[in-house]
Amino acid sequence: MALPLNLTVKMGSHLVKQKVKRVEKFPLIVEIEPLFACNLACNGCGKIQHPAGVLKQRMPVAQAIGAVEECGAPMVSLAGGEPLMHPQIDIITRELLDRGKFVVLCTNAVLLPQVGS
């Protein structure tokens, strides 16, 4: 499957900028896990085996945005557990999109509203 043209251009320009700066190693994508909690209990998943205190933790918006900004990668994967369980995932996503980042939301989609039913 081909990448969208704007993503291809963004990634290509990021690569060229790093090469011009003679940066040998640099990130293309950063993965942020704003929480470990999940709405499923899949066999073999280590996330749900964390202590309850860890599962209740939520990464603050400023920390998530700061980590992405510090990294400098043009693409962000929001994963977790289930990122849609984070009460501010919409704000995190909007802030990243407003900064020109390409955001991939890694979700099981169970919490998305069903359309047309």
Evaluate if residue 84 carries a pLDDT over 80: yes
Contacts of 108 (CB under 8 A, 6+ apart): 38, 39, 40, 82
Q: What is the pLDDT of residues 16-60, one digit of tens each?
A: 999 999 999 999 999 999 998 888 888 888 777 888 888 899 999
Contact yes or no for 111/40 (Cβ under 8 A): no
**Higher-pLDDT residue of 51, 1:** 51
pLDDT band at 106 (very low <50, low <70, confident <90, very high): very high
CA nearest neighbour of 99 among 78, 77, 74:
74
| Model confidence pTM above 0.75 | yes
The C-alpha torsion from 45 through 49 and 52 to 53, rounded to 10°, is -90
Question: Any idea where the domains of the chain sit in the sequence?
Answer: 22-105
Q: What is the pLDDT of residues 91-100, one digit of tens each?
A: 999 999 999 9
DSSP, residue by residue, 45-60: -SGGGS-HHHHT----
Whether the pLDDT of residue 115 is over 80: the answer is no
